[in-house]
Structure 1
């Protein structure tokens, strides 16, 4: 099974490096340029692409005529979905939601997801993803006037969101120019007016931002990367065999041991378009994809998996805050670059069988390394903005996983700077996107050269059908 992929260069300012891939046939990663001003050399941060300004509630570029703009003033037109993590609930977003409402204004309808609360998060990433997709469709059907959609997800919620958007993704059915709209029928027989871009729609709406905070995109290995273990080494040795019993199907999927030995694990499938699920096409449809990652002190989700990096790409953590946002220490822009993969070769199947039958560090390490490399190839097919966070100087640094989204306003307020950075970035982006609206009212702020979403790099269907054994 295989598909063509992209491995984006990461732009940084103070130093560059070349990362080699584990597989000889894979391309060499381009130089990365770290930026304290928020972008690569020559990048205009004031033109960072999002959509135009933004009311709210809890629980391809689009064309706007003067009539459309008048109607949009009557209520929110941008749906923002907040997704919590494992063993959590919508209350985890109480602080973040309040800040976003205050900063973004009345054009956003903010909905904190509640379909996968507490132990429901153990049912599997696929099951939780379908629940989330149904919840989003329900909101869209009940809210008139919505035109755009964005996601902000914490921890495991990021994987739920990635699965959900693959279900909600659809291509426009006819070429009527940018900002075309058509009606998307739903299972219940009702219809949703669909506003699309050339790269597709999510739940009938124009996809704008896909943002994750401390999400295990590459799964977990056990070391400082599983919530119930809390970084305790003697428990981490038992992580692989214990995970399915403690966190259900979700545990097996996170450790990449789900399914038959001859079949690729779910997280690998989620790095490509597979059968009826367009995982990569759905991600590519968003104007912006942003990763917030803890560089240290996170005993639930490690830096590597949350920032979609290889181990050799993890440099000494920085300590000085960027642009005055406390504890945000680095920003990178990684654009998409063509690459081979992902694959599930026969040797990976044998390694998976060993990891399932006799789960231990020796049997799983090589298998995980192979799968992580393939997942990186797949996920780097689209561009990402990567924001590194370091709570080294906070009062409770070991609460990094909960602080990054301020789960509790009093216990985790060290992450207030992260939420402020997230809110201000969206707000600034929406403002500058307005400036790109022409006389005809056509909003065109995709700027594919900034985030590697050129259409030529995004074939409509990327199937994982070849077994390179």
Structure 2
């Protein structure tokens, strides 16, 4: 009888264990199901135009009662596509269903990303204009760019800002076709707007703002000066984009494009356009991003980067680092450390870009996937590029959403 009772207890214990395992599996499946689904756990209405561009709205929002007034433009990186931002777009619409329209840019995808920052920026500017025409109730605009997409967004906003300013100048000076009037129309009068909308947030994620030509700006090169020189000479492999990123483009005797993009030029007001946004944010990988270095994505000198050991993880956002974010060191010191002409040339351009961009106040958010199984894909994980593969970056997206200014 005793052995029979023991057998019964063992069977009962096995059943409990099986139920617990089944319950755990069910929780894991439910957690991951939103990543597998194209809805990512939140239904949206996707409006597709003739060019394949997708505008996303919340399926739960009653647009008859409340028309969204804020447009978010999300821009993909090198060899990317609009789909890379789909998970993030869903999270924005889940949190702000009544307020937002999210447009994941489609015009610069796949091999088209080799065409150059300027060509891609012009395409994006035209794309944004077409989106705004489809939604006349829009009042505000924000941009979020991943990697190369952040640079493309900077070029596009300059194009849109300058167009707005030119229109304003012409309106104030009348529509006369006299030479004098045409000269007046060419004068820059600031509208403070981007494509007619009020600019709010400009956010980049792992973007090489200083290019990839500087020392240690591409971690996969291992800091080797020889390897960086080789990459410098073969940057043409990535087309015009490669020449822009490695600062080897010098069209018609002009400085490299990224160097031009830190100030207002005669044709495009790069600095004024960027400055017009109320908020500027850079998210940067402090570890394991083999594509874009920490300093170029956070717009800092390498000797200004905080020591990693002094940075702590945030409780709510486990991959966000908090602590000392600036360790100011005189700029002259970083220049004296350069010992050869190749490094000196790179450092000089890097210095000019940092000086220009930091005239604007930036929120710097440092990120680390140290300890994560997805750490070696940090460049894509920070964006949740492919949700089933980069799911650990979900807290970064949530941080962007939670701190977004409407």
TM-score (norm 2): 0.71
Matched, 1:145 2:145: no
C-alpha deviation, 1:158, in angstroms: 0.2
- The equivalent residue for 1:441 is none
SS at 2:395's partner residue? helix
State the Cα deviation string for residues 358-395 of structure 1 (Å, max 9, x = none). Answer: xxx95531111000100111101111111110111211
- The equivalent residue for 1:456 is none
State the Cα deviation string for residues 338-363 of structure 1 (Å, max 9, x = none). Answer: xx9xxxxxxxxxxxxxxxxxxxx955
2: CA distance between counterparts of 1:252 and 1:163?
Answer: 16
2: CA distance between counterparts of 1:276 and 1:217?
Answer: 21
- The equivalent residue for 2:314 is 322
Report the CA distance shift for 1:270/1:232 in structure 2 as closer, same or farther (over 3 A).
closer
SS at 2:386's partner residue? coil
Report the CA distance shift for 1:72/1:126 in structure 2 as closer, same or farther (over 3 A).
farther
Query: In angstroms, what is the RMSD of aligned CA positions?
Result: 2.8
- The equivalent residue for 2:231 is 239
SS at 1:417's partner residue? helix
State the Cα deviation string for residues 193-220 of structure 1 (Å, max 9, x = none). Answer: xxxxx86100110001000000000001
- The equivalent residue for 2:126 is 134
Report the CA distance shift for 1:374/1:105 in structure 2 as closer, same or farther (over 3 A).
same
C-alpha deviation, 1:225, in angstroms: 4.5
Matched, 1:271 2:249: no
Is the contact made by 1:121 and 1:250 (CA closer than 8 Å) also made in structure 2?
yes
- The equivalent residue for 2:153 is 161
SS at 1:320's partner residue? strand
- The equivalent residue for 2:393 is 415
- The equivalent residue for 2:276 is 285
2: CA distance between counterparts of 1:224 and 1:120?
Answer: 27
Is the contact made by 1:199 and 1:281 (CA closer than 8 Å) also made in structure 2?
no
1: CA distance between counterparts of 2:254 and 2:86?
Answer: 40
State the Cα deviation string for residues 135-193 of structure 1 (Å, max 9, x = none). Answer: 0001011112000000011000000000000000034848xxxxxxxxxxxxxxxxxxx
State the Cα deviation string for residues 208-242 of structure 1 (Å, max 9, x = none). Answer: 10000000000013666459x67696854521111
TM-score (norm 1): 0.62
2: CA distance between counterparts of 1:150 and 1:159?
Answer: 15
SS at 2:144's partner residue? strand
Is the deviation greater in 152-161 or in 376-385?
376-385
2: CA distance between counterparts of 1:73 and 1:375?
Answer: 46
- The equivalent residue for 1:383 is 361
Is the contact made by 1:231 and 1:299 (CA closer than 8 Å) also made in structure 2?
no
Is the contact made by 1:224 and 1:300 (CA closer than 8 Å) also made in structure 2?
no
Instruction: Give the number of the structure whose alpha-carbon radius of gyration is greater.
Output: 2
Is the contact made by 1:87 and 1:117 (CA closer than 8 Å) also made in structure 2?
yes
Larger fraction in helix? 2
Report the CA distance shift for 1:276/1:260 in structure 2 as closer, same or farther (over 3 A).
closer
2: CA distance between counterparts of 1:242 and 1:147?
Answer: 44
Is the contact made by 1:72 and 1:145 (CA closer than 8 Å) also made in structure 2?
no
SS at 2:208's partner residue? coil
1: CA distance between counterparts of 2:223 and 2:350?
Answer: 23
- The equivalent residue for 1:102 is 94
- The equivalent residue for 2:348 is 370
Report the CA distance shift for 1:232/1:218 in structure 2 as closer, same or farther (over 3 A).
closer
State the Cα deviation string for residues 306-342 of structure 1 (Å, max 9, x = none). Answer: 00001110122255322521110037899xxxxx9xx
C-alpha deviation, 1:88, in angstroms: 0.6
Gaps of 5+ in 1: 1-54, 60-70, 175-197, 335-339, 341-360, 431-469
- The equivalent residue for 1:46 is none
Is the contact made by 1:272 and 1:280 (CA closer than 8 Å) also made in structure 2?
yes
* Larger RCO (CA within 8 A; separation ≥ 6): 1
State the Cα deviation string for residues 2-50 of structure 1 (Å, max 9, x = none). Answer: xxxxxxxxxxxxxxxxxxxxxxxxxxxxxxxxxxxxxxxxxxxxxxxxx
Equivalent pairs counted in the alignment come to 314
2: CA distance between counterparts of 1:97 and 1:150?
Answer: 13
Matched, 1:111 2:103: yes
Report the CA distance shift for 1:416/1:224 in structure 2 as closer, same or farther (over 3 A).
farther
Report the CA distance shift for 1:379/1:232 in structure 2 as closer, same or farther (over 3 A).
closer
Is the contact made by 2:213 and 2:346 (CA closer than 8 Å) also made in structure 1?
yes
Is the contact made by 1:219 and 1:267 (CA closer than 8 Å) also made in structure 2?
yes
